Amino acid sequence: MTHEHHPSDRHFDHCPWLFAAEASAEQRAAQDERRAAIGGDSEFGERCFVAGSAAVFPDRLRLGDDSYIAAHAYVTGELTAGADCTLNPYTTVRGTVALGDGVRIGAHTSLLGFNHAMAPDRPVFRQPLTSRGITVGDDVWIGSHVVVVDGVTIGDHCVIGAGAVVTRDLPAWTVAAGNPARAVRDRRDAGGSSSGRRDGGRSSSGRRDAEGGSVSLVRFAETVRAQAAGLLARCWDGERYVDRPGAAPTVRAHCDAVEIADLVLGAVPEQLTADAHVERLASAQDAASGLVPEVGEPVPEAEADGFIGEGAALYHVLSVGYALDLLGASFPHPVRGVRDMMADQLIARLDGLPWRSGAWEAGAWIDAWATAAHWNGVREHGSVEALFGWLLTRADPWTGMWGEPSSEQGRLQVVNGYYRLTRGSFAQYGVPVPHPERVVDAVLDHARDGRYFGAGQENACNVLDVAHPLWLCGRQLGAGPGGDGYRAAEIRAWAERQLSAALPRWRNGEGFAFGPGTQAGLQGTEMWLAIIWYLADLTGRSEELGYRPRGVHRPEAAGAR
């Protein structure tokens, strides 16, 4: 008779990579109980392991599939880790830390995503704590006895030598060592120096200045202006604009081209004259309904109350309307379903929107309706007043928002719907939003959700839908650009981290991709350029960009110039 041998629990604590293949059924059950007993808001992927000797006391913990925390590690605060991440023995992770996929952290290494103030008026131990957080990209190897301090972003594919002290951001592919850590070479260059680094088709404009200053917005903006005309030409198929080469022509692509040219060149796209741009966009509007269908598609049919509920034509109310506005023109016809809608019909539609299951969809509908009312100009039937009355009386006083979070998506639908809703209503009409402090609380809470914010995970919608509410509520609460105000330090820190992550995503000759796994195109470029302005303004540095959105993403109310 044979006896199956399993390593001891102590063995697994120090060699957790063996657990998945060699643990007994009893040891697996004990591991399940151990993870379940961890306090705070904790979630674990498949085949995760937490050593019994590790001190894990998180406020929020997310471990992706096949990740582990080894013997005597010390974890507090908010840790978000992707798949295949390893915290080896005696690792310390504290404060706010986000790891991408495939991050290896050597023994006795410390990632300290918080700091003490040290003003001379009181002892250090009585000083307040601050936290800008640490962000680590995908496929990163951090050696043993390394220290990474608060506020640092380590790009994808970096390698950090043993004993290094990382005090500044490191671009993707950097091999760094020393105290303070400095770039030794680019990991893609076999034995090469950092001076021989290749940018892999990306601009260096988004990285930190060589002397360690803040992200160079000036150089970034110069790069965009130099390449903008080429980007627009790249997306012109000879007859119409496409989002990216090989894609089908769309109405939005034309509008995005107009927005980009206005934003960074102060001109119209050179593929057509200004009059020709106006004629093409204005003629796309259906005279009977006032709607703009997608290229090659029929005009959508109105619902019982005279307006539509979904589809590209809803967003075209925004994109075409603002493109014409930038060109010094306007829609030739009213959006009739909005012009003719009575207040009671509007209230019935608002009551029937999918607030529980699709707050984004509900917010997008209000955005389109309110923008159509703005273009129509004449406020008949008291419908606009009815809209604001409904919104003000339905806002949740605990969050300032509409809709409810879910266990599947957290606050994603609610926050994204909040941006679309307030963009078209409160922001566009210059009306103060209700409960702005609670909105800031809810949005900052959402911005810590590792499913949507972390190394390489952000897309344009999710970042914009946090940045704009923070900007809007901050101005309403009296905080100027980069100034003091409610939770201003946290907002600035979040914006700085997002800037550091966003700017290097610019692809020379192509622009920005909307998000991970997508190709660069006009939509991603238009959105990220606006997002970068908001992020820069939240840090008090938007003037360095030399541009300010005037179209769909304009910061001022629509009547302001």
Residue (of 110, 190, 173, 106) closest to 138 by Cα position: 173
Pairwise CA distance, residues 459 & 31, whole Å: 35
Q: Write the single-letter amino acid at 369.
A: W
Compute CA 54 distance to the chain's CA centroid, rounded to the nearest angstrom. 33
Distances in Å between the Cα of 375 and the Cα atoms of 294, 338, 556, 559 are: 19, 10, 16, 11
Check if the beta carbon of residue 450 is closer than 8 Å to that of residue 429.
no
Distances in Å between the Cα of 194 and the Cα atoms of 85, 134, 155, 182, 208 are: 27, 23, 15, 10, 15
Check if the beta carbon of residue 98 is closer than 8 Å to that of residue 133.
yes
Percent helix / strand / coil, the chain, rounded to 5: 40, 15, 45
CA torsion sign for 351, 352, 353, 356 is positive
Check if the beta carbon of residue 464 is closer than 8 Å to that of residue 447.
no
What does residue 74 show for φ and ψ, rounded to 5 degrees? -125, 115
Which are the contacts of 327, defined by CB distance < 8 A and separation ≥ 6? 258, 268, 274, 277, 278, 281
Check if the beta carbon of residue 285 is closer than 8 Å to that of residue 291.
yes
Residue with tokens 């290896």: 104
Check if the beta carbon of residue 398 is closer than 8 Å to that of residue 411.
no
Residue with tokens 């809803």: 314
CB-CB neighbours of 516 under 10 Å: 11
Parallel, antiparallel or unpaired: strands 115-116 and 74-81 = unpaired
Residue (of 202, 176, 198, 181) closest to 189 by Cα position: 198
Q: Is 159 helix (H, G, I), strand (E, B) or coil?
A: strand
What does residue 43 show for φ and ψ, rounded to 5 degrees? -140, 145
Pairwise CA distance, residues 8 & 193, whole Å: 45
Exactly one of 108, 116, 316, 468 is catalytic; name it. 116
Residues in the chain: 561
* Residue 116 a catalytic site member: yes
For 60: left if phi > 0, alpha if psi spans -120 to 50, otherwise beta; the answer is beta
Distances in Å between the Cα of 408 and the Cα atoms of 238, 364, 404, 412 are: 44, 21, 12, 9
Compute CA 548 distance to the chain's CA centroid, rounded to the nearest angstrom. 19
Active site (catalytic) residues: 116
